[in-house]
Amino acid sequence: MTSRNLQISILGSTGSVGASTLAVIDENPSYKVFALTAHRNAKLLFEQCEKYRPKFAVLSEAAAAEFNTLLVKSNLDTKLLIGEPGLIEVASNPNVDIVMAAIVGAAGLESTLAAASNGKRLLLANKESLVMTGDLLKQAARESGAEILPIDSEHNAIFQCLPQTKSSVHTESNIGVVKVVLTASGGPFLNTPMEQLESVTPDQACQHPKWSMGRKISVDSATMMNKGLEFIEACYLFDLQPSQVDVLIHPQSIVHSMVHYKDGSVLAQMANPDMRVPIAYGLAWPQRIESGVAPLDLTAEEPLQFSKPDLSRFPCLRLGMEAAGERGTAPAVLNAANEVAVEAFLKGEIGFAEIPLIIEAVRSQIPCEPAPTLAIIQDLDGQARKLSKELILKDFCRGASA
């Protein structure tokens, strides 16, 4: 794939990964923006449209009127599409070469699947869609000839450390791989006394020491559910058993992950912690382009440290690893309960320490289907969300700890 005038749809362009993607395109203007999408932020989406002049913009219904008011006063010929059908249209349009899937959570599932089913280069930031559908997403990509390129920095690092083949999904090429190591910063509460975790606020949880990200993934990083989801993501993406995936705490976030080979070699990818690095790699693979990120200066860094995670401090990581072992619908149920619990925490409805309690209760009450269809996954996703909300309303956790 040469970068000359490739057309890209950026799903979730107003978010953190979306903004980083536009920043990489600023460095490489031969990429052409075909579509930009957002949920409700009509004003920012409109400003982005003024700068990048895409053919389409997509917003949720509630924000459409505000965007159209701005549109009629302008000379833009961007067309506004609405909601899920709009997202699917810009993810599957025949004129699109590359889709950046950077919507947060299960809201990104249908559009990510549409890109995978329509032969696109799929830049996968929306890890939740792979966690939910796993093999189905990969199968859709295989059948349509789509390329899935991981944008999550850890998986992008592993991808960079694996033997490069024509296929972007390394099913047959990881010969000689003994295991992969996902690194984790440990988030803002790595050394917080355990008894203080009950009273931490959403703003404290979103103060990530190394990465600036959206609020949901920031909370996931603080609970380490992010690493739990990434553990599942790694098993699916690279066809690994859970026993072949390790997690190491690495607070400096310079080594983004590693691959251990049979002969004792360990390949690691390093860079300053900035999403523009994996995004640039995904856009240009197998070539390399400017990302705009400052060069890494190892002499200016604190010493690089590595340690094993404490699963009693981070029960969400354990829950993610367990779901990876079960596969089937277990990861989708885990993800749904986590999305509801994190939203409730961000709204002040539950405490930080209650997030894993809700998820564990939901996981124990919804049996795992081993070989699900998309319809079964969506059904169980709905059941898990409903049950999570009921448990939150019933103040289940306070009852459980009383």
Nearest to ligand NAD of 178, 248 (CB atom)? 248
Centre a 10 Å sphere on the Cβ of residue 172 and count the other Cβ atoms it contains. 10
Nearest to ligand NAD of 90, 107 (CB atom)? 107
Span interacting with Mg ion, options 111-119, 148-156, 306-314, 359-367, rule CB under 5 A: 148-156
* Least distance between Mg ion and beta carbon 230 (Å): 5
Q: What's the chain's length in residues?
A: 402
329 binds, among ligand NAD, Mg ion, none (CB under 5 to 8 A by kind): none
Residue 375 exposed, middle or buried by CB count within 10 Å (0-12, 13-18, 19+): exposed
Nearest to ligand NAD of 122, 397 (CB atom)? 122
- Region of 366 please: left (phi>0), alpha (psi -120 to 50) or beta: beta
Beta bridge partners of 98: 8, 121
Nearest to ligand NAD of 123, 240 (CB atom)? 123
Report DSSP state, residue 260: E
161 binds, among Mg ion, ligand NAD, none (CB under 5 to 8 A by kind): none
For helices 61-72 and 42-52, what crossing angle results, to 10°?
50
Task: Name the strand (E) or helix (H) holding 139.
Answer: helix 135-144
214 binds, among Mg ion, ligand NAD, none (CB under 5 to 8 A by kind): ligand NAD
* Least distance between ligand NAD and beta carbon 304 (Å): 20
112 binds, among Mg ion, ligand NAD, none (CB under 5 to 8 A by kind): none
Specify the 3-state DSSP secondary structure of 57: strand
Binding site residues, ligand NAD, CB under 6 A? 12-18, 38-39, 41, 60, 102-104, 107, 125-128, 152, 211, 213-214, 217, 275
CA distance 57 to 48: 10
The phi and psi torsions of 304 (rounded to 5 degrees) equal -80, 125
Among 97, 128, 147, 152, binds Mg ion (CB under 5 A): 152
* Least distance between ligand NAD and beta carbon 38 (Å): 4
* 18-37 residues near Mg ion, rule: CB under 5 A: none
Centre a 10 Å sphere on the Cβ of residue 369 and count the other Cβ atoms it contains. 16
Binding residues for Mg ion, rule: CB under 5 A, are 152-154
